[in-house]
Amino acid sequence: MLNILVTGTNGQLGSELKELSGEYDYHYFFTDRDTLDISNGASVKNFIEMHPIDIIINCAAFTAVDKAETEQELANSINHLAVKQLAQIAKEKNIRLVHISTDYVFDGMHFKPYTETDKTSPNSVYGQTKLDGEKAMQKINPKNSIIIRTSWVYSHFGANFVKTMLRLGKEKEQLGVIFDQVGTPTYARDLAKSILDIVPKINNDSVEIYNYSNEGVLSWYDFAKEIMQMAKLKCQINPIETKEYLALALNEGKKCPGGEIADTPAPKGKVGCPTPAVRPHYSLLNKSKIKEDFGIIIPYWKDSLGKCLQKILERR
């Protein structure tokens, strides 16, 4: 039986892994930042020496994209330096490491789905720290370890775009949502299931990178429209360009790229969104490699959205 250490258990992906754990014949150690500080190498080493760990699934990350612009040191410590330490420990102890990364390592200026070997060029501190974590892991090169890049993650756990749209759909008669940012959402439960399916099959000498999101292609506008339709909400969704969204955020202090809700408006006279991080305009991921190497089937985004909405309804 495989012994699996999951970090970042309280996040969307970690929570889904925990909920799915009973369906797999593994033994788990679920940790959060209160029970295991992954930025503290000694703490991680002590934990692993006290527990027989075969695989680490690192879901822990500094995911506050906009805060990372001002809290660079903290973002770097979690997204880069902590990953470096995990990779070093994994190599020393011959432990498999599955690390979760992001589409933000790309600049979003591509014209076709990104493959794992396409050039990286982050637009944000968040994206750069995640890329630095990837590079550190690749340089240390723990055997039988992989990096999974994903995008637009949502779940019935935690805060995310789907839950925000459900709330605003009940409060507002209409909303403006960006149509010129294109990608694919990822239902965290689908990603969690795929990870648990593939961990016994990982067999590589060098760290491999894989892309994972649900199948299909859409904009945030399309995503919001489908959420309203499936939830039977009457809120009208209007398509707007990113530049219009920025102007709205400037004037109202409410909306920002990627569906976040801004806390404060931008200073007078400053053109731009109150949230400083730049999002990729195009972040569609090519999933051929992970499907071919592990034989997994990735669900279509609409099917997964329906399942998530049902979960949210059940929890309520």
Q: Which residues are catalytic?
A: 126
C-alpha distance across the termini of the chain, in Å: 36
Q: Which residue has the tokens 């894989």?
A: 210
Cα 269–chain centre separation: 34
Alpha carbons 279 and 181: distance in angstroms, whole number: 8
For residue 150, what are its two tokens? 């994903």
